[in-house]
Amino acid sequence: MDVNTICYVVCIMLVSYALRLLNLVWFKPKKMEKFLRDQGLDGNDYKFPFGDLKEMMQSIVEAKTKPIGLTDDIVPRVLPFVQEIVATHGMCKCL
């Protein structure tokens, strides 16, 4: 094999992996977002590369810093991000 053939093969492999990565981090999440919106589920827009993960972790850390009593509602403490999303966007309209 000569050097040009090896370069072509390496370039094709790099482009292939780049397209796979692009599909994984952009096209699949946007496609899922479209499917969910078509079914009537509103929500936050996808943010590259990890979506709402930063906001979710921030709300969990913030919820854990607040004290909780024995008679308090546990949902804001255990699932603060889910409660915030439901309060913002409402329940599923598809049911």
| Sequential DSSP letters for 9-66 | HHHHHHHHHHHHHHIIIIIHHHHHHHHHHHTT---PPP-TTTTTHHHHHHHHHHHHHS
Q: Is the pTM of this model over 0.75?
A: no
pLDDT tens digits for the chain (95 residues)? 788 899 999 999 999 999 999 999 889 989 998 998 888 877 778 877 777 778 888 888 888 888 888 888 888 888 888 888 887 777 666 55
Say what the pLDDT of residue 8 is: 94
Residue 94 domain-assigned? Answer: no
77 is in which domain, residue-wise? Answer: 3-89
Residue 82: how many CB atoms within 10 A of its CB?
A: 13
Residues 40 and 87: beta-carbon distance below 8 Å = no
**Domain presence at residue 11:** yes
Residues 21-43: tens digit of each pLDDT: 999 988 998 999 899 888 887 77
Domain tally, the chain: 1
In a domain? residue 20: yes
